[in-house]
Amino acid sequence: MSMTDPLGDMLARIRNAQRAKKSDVVSPASRLRENVLEVLKREGYIAGYEKTNVRPGVDELRIQLKYHEGTSVITEIYRVSTPGRRVYSSVRDLPRVYNGLGISIVSTPKGVMSDNEARKANVGGEILCQVF
């Protein structure tokens, strides 16, 4: 069975695992998911991730979640641009999440990056998700 929103599925898995106080969560692998996880790792929202081969042609991502004094580092994580409603933004109109305390993850022509990195690179793109 095909999945209509793979990135939304991964974000829901992360959100549910953190509510259940899990140390890690498993998600099917894709390049977009890896790029989003790389941004989350760079920004300090997750401890890390690793790609493992389940069987030939099938990979999965094991995501290590991050907690600070018993509370999860990620308070909110949700999808902005969905398959039915794409949300694009120019560099001037990139949204600030909680006045700069959170991040927006943006898919740009120069790759997937946070909103701050997109402003520095002076590129806009599709707003994939927001994290706080």
Q: What does the mean pLDDT of the chain come to?
A: 96
Residue 2 has a pLDDT of: 67
125: CB partners within 8 A, 6+ apart: 88, 89, 106, 107, 108, 109, 118
* pLDDT tens digits, one per residue of 62-113: 999 999 999 999 999 999 999 999 999 999 999 999 999 999 999 999 999 9
Confidence of residue 3 (pLDDT cuts 50, 70, 90): confident
Nearest to 131 by CA among 6, 11, 10: 11
The answer, yes or no, to whether residue 1 has pLDDT greater than 60, is no
